[in-house]
Amino acid sequence: MKGEPKVVVLEDPEAVAKLGAELIDSVITERLAATGRADIALSGGRIAGLLFDELTALGRDWNGVHLWIADERCVPADDEESNVRLVRERLAAPGSVLHAPPDDGDAEKRALAYSFQLKDRVLDLIMLSIGEDAHTASLFPDNPAIDDDRTIVPVHDAPKPPPERTSLGLGTLNASPQRLMLVTGEGKREALKQCLGEPSKSAPSSLLEAAGTTVLVDRAAAG
């Protein structure tokens, strides 16, 4: 990353999820007080599910909150691989508005339709994680989607199934004033080093702007 992100090492995934939920809740409260609206992007994965449980437990008022899916697989919304399904099942946010790509059509069609929802809105916070290959959202190493300057990008030939996806573009990720990255597990240790190292398209997470990025790491990933 360019510069130094804020890195916080915590005991375990549960502690990462708890602090992550508290940080998101704080941003929502701040933005609602300032503008009456908060725009938060959410990613998937096991740690995301734990965080959604923690957010639900806070029992906040979700009116005025707009939730966005940071990346999605080209599957039906009720598919087990769908991030939309994960949010709906694990995050109780009555009163919020959930924005997501349509669940039919190819990656190009889904990305275009989703971009009409986002338009030029800057997201207040984007929750992310990294894969063992140092990818983030659905921006994979050396994939052409990294260089796509659209707000929502279609992703083809992803190395993990399914190969067709949609994702917030790198420019959209970096336009947000705050990025919250969750990294847990020994298997992410090397990816974390790449993420925090020199910017490289072979480690897309390293291309995120350090300013405004908070990385919550458990001890297993920190090493």
pLDDT at site 2: 67
Edge to edge, the sheet with strand 38-42 lists: 6-10, 213-218, 179-183, 125-129, 38-42, 65-69, 97-99
Domains in the chain (CATH in brackets) are 6-222 (3.40.50.1360)
Assign 3 a pLDDT band (cuts: 50, 70, 90).
confident
Claim: this prediction has a pTM higher than 0.95: yes
Structural tokens at position 206: 């390293």
Whole-angstrom distance, CA of residue 147 vs CA of residue 170: 8
Tens-digit pLDDT profile for residues 139-190? 999 999 999 999 999 999 999 999 999 999 999 999 999 999 999 999 999 9
Nearest to 73 by CA among 48, 39, 110, 36: 110
- Checking if the pLDDT of 207 tops 70, the result is yes
DSSP run (H or E) holding 221: helix 219-222
Tens-digit pLDDT profile for residues 97-125? 999 999 999 999 999 999 999 999 999 99
User: What mean pLDDT, rounded, does the chain reach?
Assistant: 97
Report angle CA 35, 38, 40 to the nearest 5 degrees.
Answer: 155
Nearest to 141 by CA among 199, 183, 185, 193: 199
